Amino acid sequence: TETILKVDDLKVWFDVKKPGAMPWTRPRKLKAVDGVSFELNAGETLGIVGESGCGKSTLARAVMQMVPIEAGSVVWLGDDLTGLDTRRMRPHRKEMQMIFQDPLASLNPRMTIGQIVAEPLKTHFPGLSAAKVKARVQDVLDTVGILPNLVNRYPHEFSGGQCQRIGIARALIVDPQLIICDEPVSALDVSIQAQVINLLMDLQKETGVALIFIAHDLSVVKHISDRVMVLYLGNVMEIAPAAELYDRPLHPYTEALISAVPIPDPVLERQKQVMLLDLDLPSPLDPPSGCVFRTRCPIAEPGCAQVKPVLADKGREHLVACHLR
Ligand code: SF4
Ligand code: MG
């Protein structure tokens, strides 16, 4: 298999000031992504899981060069993208598309869905005839299950699930090699979530597109992912083939997330979550020393505060960052 994306020791740090801070106060560093490395193969799906604020979206945006990179590198199809500006990213952006969490908000309300879906095609292939664009729009709308005769309707005339299908059509129209899906189903009803995930899996089978699928919940990425990466406070805790990760989780954080996988009763679910991850997520502005998970870790030892664990290879493509595993 061919590696299409190689992310190496990537760091994205933001300068932030406390609200109401004096103008001369030095900003503090928020280490949103703090040394993340992974590779993605052609046609593969990598699930990325973690709580809100763990750096998932920032990591996705860093791959697309939508945020400034502090250190490390992003290599795409052999080209180093690190730090490229919008203009220099344009030829690569054709290959890597993105879909977002809030389907309606990510579609321009003043454009018809035909115009919205056509836009990336017109940007990247400005010479294409109107007839060819129209035919391709009809084609991708049909692929995602939106009736092509609805092209002149506006986004607000569609449901959340339909809007996400339109977002997927817009990503597909340029025939990308990678679609980064940033919590694409988090805002949708559970029944609709499965439809959108199945659609993405079907499209992948048909086109061979690779996916990075971000979610805050391990159960959402279980069926779609070939491999799963677990993030915590901007650090990779564990990465493994999906079956291996769910059957033999090695990191205490992954274990807690798996035990907290939502069960249908919302009240029980909440109690279970509270039981297993009962301590608050520390501020990313002030992460714990040593292992960033240690303030919530049920098996932490004194040494965990001293030395940050590195991702170690445990065989079977299973990597974990924990001194005790
Ligand atoms: Fe827990 Fe220590 Fe492992 Fe971190 S390194 S996960 S604190 S046991
Ligand atoms: Mg996010």
Residue in 97, 36, 75, 35 with CA at minimum distance from that of residue 229: 36
The CATH classification number of 3-17+27-95+176-320 equals 3.40.50.300
pLDDT given at position 27: 83
pLDDT given at position 117: 97
pLDDT given at position 261: 52
Pair type for strands 3-16 and 96-99:
unpaired
Give average pLDDT by consecutive 10-residue segment, the chain, 325 residues: 95 86 83 96 96 91 95 97 94 93 90 97 95 97 94 96 95 97 90 92 95 92 95 97 96 88 48 52 87 93 96 96 96
**Ligand 1 centroid from CA 11, angstroms:** 22
**Cβ atoms of residues 193 and 165 within 8 Å:** no
Ligand 1 binding pocket includes 300 (Cβ within 6 Å) = yes
d(CA 207, CA 168): 13
d(CA 84, CA 218): 33
Ligand 1 atom with the shortest distance to the CA of 309: 5
d(CA 325, CA 305): 16
pLDDT given at position 274: 42
- Measured by CA distance, the residue closest to atom 7 of ligand 1 is 294
Map out the domains of the chain as residue ranges. 3-17+27-95+176-320, 106-175
Question: Which phi and psi angles does 320 have, rounded to 5°?
Answer: -145, 145
3-state class (DSSP) for residue 27:
coil
Q: Which residue among 230, 289, 304, 314 has the greatest number of ligand 1 atoms within 8 angstroms of its CB, and so is best to mutate?
A: 304
Question: Which phi and psi angles does 196 have, rounded to 5°?
Answer: -70, -40
The pTM of the full predicted model, rounded to 2 decimals, is: 0.91
pLDDT given at position 273: 47
**Ligand 2 centroid from CA 53, angstroms:** 7
